[in-house]
Each structure stands twice: as structure tokens, then as C-alpha cells.
């Protein structure tokens, strides 16, 4: 069930066949190519007035539903993408809210020298800072339902992930984190805790939809260059995550 009081647009589906390039075990993509892994309800709004407000501020509110389960040895996840830089030369950020279920966000900068692992449960809000690509993993046994707010001024970049077989690390069925050998120079995985960001009005228990109508709360999505301090405080380092060098 999606905890959303409003109309839902027709969703886009990401199926196993769409994921062949980013899997720990790509051979599983052929076994059930039409299996849906997640549904993306892009550009949601509860009213025409809200839709106009979102459009006027060049932001989009999406809901994503990620199934529980595995793809061969690894947990179900999103494809993964980077965001380009805005006209000021700073990467577009994004903000997620876990509406129900559990999420693991695996973030990495362009060089994969910095890799962050963020756990979040229902009600938690995670800011993806400029310069970080992201994959979301469903580690739970129920649907993971998330909302996001993001700029409408760019298209996501999938090729860097697809070229290297996905992110720098994979999360396996037993929760172990395994290095993707196509990133020989990837940095260690650092656990990070999502913090409230007063400048954006984000934090646990604050539904993202309540940011609508507050211009100052969504401005960072298109003008990240003005919020360097806020981004530096959106994630707190919580130590290194142990990693397996080989697939189990």
C-alpha cells in the first residue's frame, strides 16, 4: 500500500531486463526479464495548485515502490545514476523520504573515492549531496516506498554505472557488502547517518510533501551552490563498513 492521499500517475516500471548492466550476477537478468523490480510514479501532486507550484519551482515529487527480494545473490535495488552539474557547476542534489519499509542508500562520488552507506526507515529523510550518484536497496521483506523531491532541470546519467557493472559495491542477500572488481580504486564504504538540515527544513518525521509552499525549502534543489554549509552537515560519518573482497 502506498501511503499517499492523492492521484497516482501511470507508473514507469524498471524490470530485470533493464538492469542487466548493473547486476552483481548479470546472468540473472535473462532468467525472468519482464519481472518488475520497482515502479516509479513520477511527477505526483495532490492538487492542480500543488502541481503548478512544483512546476513554478522546477521541482518534481516522485514516489517509488521497490519490491523486496533478490536478484540472484544480491538484494533488489535501483539501477543507479549520477546527476549532472547545474549552470553554476555544482551537481544537482536530491532528497528522499522513506514512506514505508526500509532503505539502504549507497552513494558514491564520481571517482568512487568516497562511498557512503546510509540506512533509513519510515519517516527518515536523506539528502543526496551534490556530486554523489545513488542506488537504493530494499533490504527488508516488505515493499520499500519512498518519495523524492528533485529538480526538473536535468536528466539522470546512467552510463557511468552501466559501464562498470553498477555501483562500486553490491549488497548481498545476507547483508554483506561486496566490492565490484571493476572499481579497483574505490574507497572504503563509510557508514553515514542522515541528519536534519535546518536550512532545508528537512528531518525525520517531516514528510517531504510538507515542503511544498515553502520556497526556501526547495531552492537548494536548483541552486546547490548557495548551500555548501548545509550540505556539509547533511550526513554524519559513522565509521567504516566491513566489506568482502569476493562474492560469497
| Contact footprint for ligand F6P (CB under 6 A) | 14, 40, 42, 62, 64, 78-81, 94, 148, 150, 156
Taking the least distance from each CB to ligand F6P, the nearer of 156 and 176 is: 156
Taking the least distance from each CB to ligand F6P, the nearer of 60 and 179 is: 60
Taking the complex as a whole, the smallest distance from the CB of residue 17 to ligand F6P amounts, in Å, to: 13
Taking the least distance from each CB to ligand F6P, the nearer of 98 and 178 is: 98
The cell for 5 is 492521499
Taking the least distance from each CB to ligand F6P, the nearer of 51 and 81 is: 81
Taking the complex as a whole, the smallest distance from the CB of residue 214 to ligand F6P amounts, in Å, to: 21
Taking the complex as a whole, the smallest distance from the CB of residue 246 to ligand F6P amounts, in Å, to: 26
Taking the complex as a whole, the smallest distance from the CB of residue 63 to ligand F6P amounts, in Å, to: 8
Taking the least distance from each CB to ligand F6P, the nearer of 36 and 198 is: 36
Q: Would you say 130 and 93 are in contact if contact means Cβ atoms under 8 Å apart? A: yes
SS (H, E, C) the chain: CCCCCCCCCCCEEEEHHHHHHHCCCHHHHHCCCCCEEEEEECCCCCCHHHHHHHHHCCEEEEEEEECCCEECCEECECCCEECCECCCCCECCEEEEEEECEEEEEEEECCCCCEEEEEEECCCEEEECCCEEEEEECCCCCCEEEEEEEECCCCCECHHHHHCCCCCEEEECCCCEEECCCCCCCCCEEEEEECCECCCCECCCCCHHHHCCCHHHHHHHCCHHHCHHHHHCCEEEEEECCCECCCC
- Provide CB contacts within 8 A for 184, sequence distance 6+: none
Residue nearest to ligand F6P according to CB distances in the complex: 64
Taking the least distance from each CB to ligand F6P, the nearer of 42 and 223 is: 42
Taking the complex as a whole, the smallest distance from the CB of residue 93 to ligand F6P amounts, in Å, to: 10
Q: Would you say 110 and 82 are in contact if contact means Cβ atoms under 8 Å apart? A: yes
Distance CA 68, CA 37 (A): 8
Taking the least distance from each CB to ligand F6P, the nearer of 7 and 188 is: 7
Taking the complex as a whole, the smallest distance from the CB of residue 24 to ligand F6P amounts, in Å, to: 16
Taking the complex as a whole, the smallest distance from the CB of residue 248 to ligand F6P amounts, in Å, to: 25
Amino acid at each position: 500500500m502506498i501511503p499517499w492521499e492523492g492521484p497516482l500517475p501511470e507508473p514507469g516500471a524498471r524490470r530485470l531486463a533493464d538492469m542487466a548492466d548493473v547486476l552483481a550476477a548479470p546472468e540473472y537478468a535473462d532468467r525472468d526479464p519482464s519481472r518488475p523490480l520497482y515502479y516509479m510514479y513520477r511527477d505526483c501532486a495532490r492538487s492542480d495548485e500543488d502541481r503548478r507550484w512544483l512546476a513554478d519551482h522546477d521541482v518534481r515529487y516522485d514516489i517509488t515502490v521497490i519490491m523486496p527480494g533478490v536478484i540472484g545473490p544480491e538484494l533488489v535495488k535501483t539501477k543507479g545514476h549520477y546527476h549532472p552539474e547545474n549552470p553554476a557547476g555544482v551537481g544537482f542534489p536530491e532528497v528522499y523520504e522513506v514512506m514505508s519499509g526500509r532503505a539502504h542508500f549507497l552513494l558514491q562520488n564520481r571517482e568512487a573515492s568516497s562511498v557512503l552507506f546510509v540506512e533509513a526507515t519510515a519517516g527518515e529523510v536523506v539528502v543526496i549531496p551534490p556530486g554523489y550518484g545513488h542506488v537504493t536497496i530494499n533490504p527488508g521483506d516488505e515493499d520499500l516506498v519512498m518519495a523524492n523531491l528533485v529538480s526538473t532541470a536535468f536528466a539522470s546519467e546512467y552510463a557511468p554505472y552501466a559501464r562498470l557493472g553498477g555501483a562500486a559495491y553490491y549488497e548481498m542477500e545476507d547483508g554483506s557488502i561486496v566490492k565490484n572488481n571493476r572499481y579497483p580504486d574505490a574507497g572504503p564504504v563509510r557508514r553515514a547517518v542522515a541528519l536534519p538540515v535546518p536550512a532545508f527544513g528537512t528531518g525525520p518525521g517531516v514528510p517531504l510533501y510538507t515542503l511544498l509552499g515553502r520556497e526556501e525549502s526547495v531552492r537548494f534543489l536548483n541552486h546547490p551552490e548557495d548551500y555548501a554549509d548545509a550540505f556539509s552537515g547533511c550526513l554524519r560519518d559513522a565509521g567504516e563498513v566491513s566489506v568482502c573482497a569476493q562474492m560469497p
